[in-house]
Amino acid sequence: MLKKITCIECPLGCPLSVEMEDCRVIRVSGNKCPKGIIYASSEAENPARFLTSVISSRGLSLKMIPVRTDKPIPKSSLAEAMKEIKRLTINRPVKTGDIIVNDFMREGINLIATRDCV
């Protein structure tokens, strides 16, 4: 089976042709760099995205503190992850990269702050 997808790893957005056999990727073409092949495999077998959002704070200089997952999470769990994020508030100063939730969506993926806030 031939699948056509767009690589989203960089702004070039190469059009990829992905040849699949039994749900496995056997050949990728159209990529201008090796990252396209890795992307095609994960996209075809288990699509994942970085989740970015903001968390409200209490008593800090910024009203909302931006956060992201430190690795891409399965596309299918984005909605569930957002629900979790909406339940959170931050009430202590954070530095960029600080872990807000350890092992956020299991599989060792953390939720981290993306801006300093005092």
Partner 1 sequence: MITRDLVIIGGGPAGMAAAISAHENGVRDILLLERDQYLGGILNQCVHTGFGLEYFKEVLTGPEYAGRFIKKLSAVPAIEVSLKSFCVSLTREKEITYIRPGALERIRAKALVMATGCREKTREMTHIAGTRPAGIFSAGLAQKLINIEGLLPGREIVISGSGDIGLIMARRFLLEGAKVNAVIEIQSTTRGLLRNVVQCVEDFEIPVYYNHRISRIRGRDRVEAVDVVKVDEKFNDVKGSDFRISCDTVLISVGLIPENELIEMAGGMPIDGIFQCGNSLRVYDIVDSVSKDSAETGRAAAEYLKNA
Residue numbers at the binding site for ligand SF4 (CB under 6 A): 7, 9-10, 12-14, 31-33, 35-36, 39
What is the rounded CA–CA span in Å between residue 95 and residue 78? Answer: 24
Of 75, 92, 99, 103, the one binding partner 1 (CB under 8 A) is 75
DSSP state of 84: H
CA-wise closest residue to 65 among 22, 103, 114, 105: 114
Residue 104 binding: pick among ligand SF4, partner 1, none (C-beta 5-8 Å cut-off by kind) = none
Q: Is 13 in the site for partner 1 (CB under 8 A)?
A: yes
Q: How many angstroms separate the most distant Cα atoms in the chain?
A: 55
Tell me whether residue 5 or residue 85 sits nearer to ligand SF4 (CB atom): 5
Residue 33 binding: pick among ligand SF4, partner 1, none (C-beta 5-8 Å cut-off by kind) = ligand SF4
What is the rounded CA–CA span in Å between residue 11 and residue 21? Answer: 29
Tell me whether residue 15 or residue 108 sits nearer to partner 1 (CB atom): 15
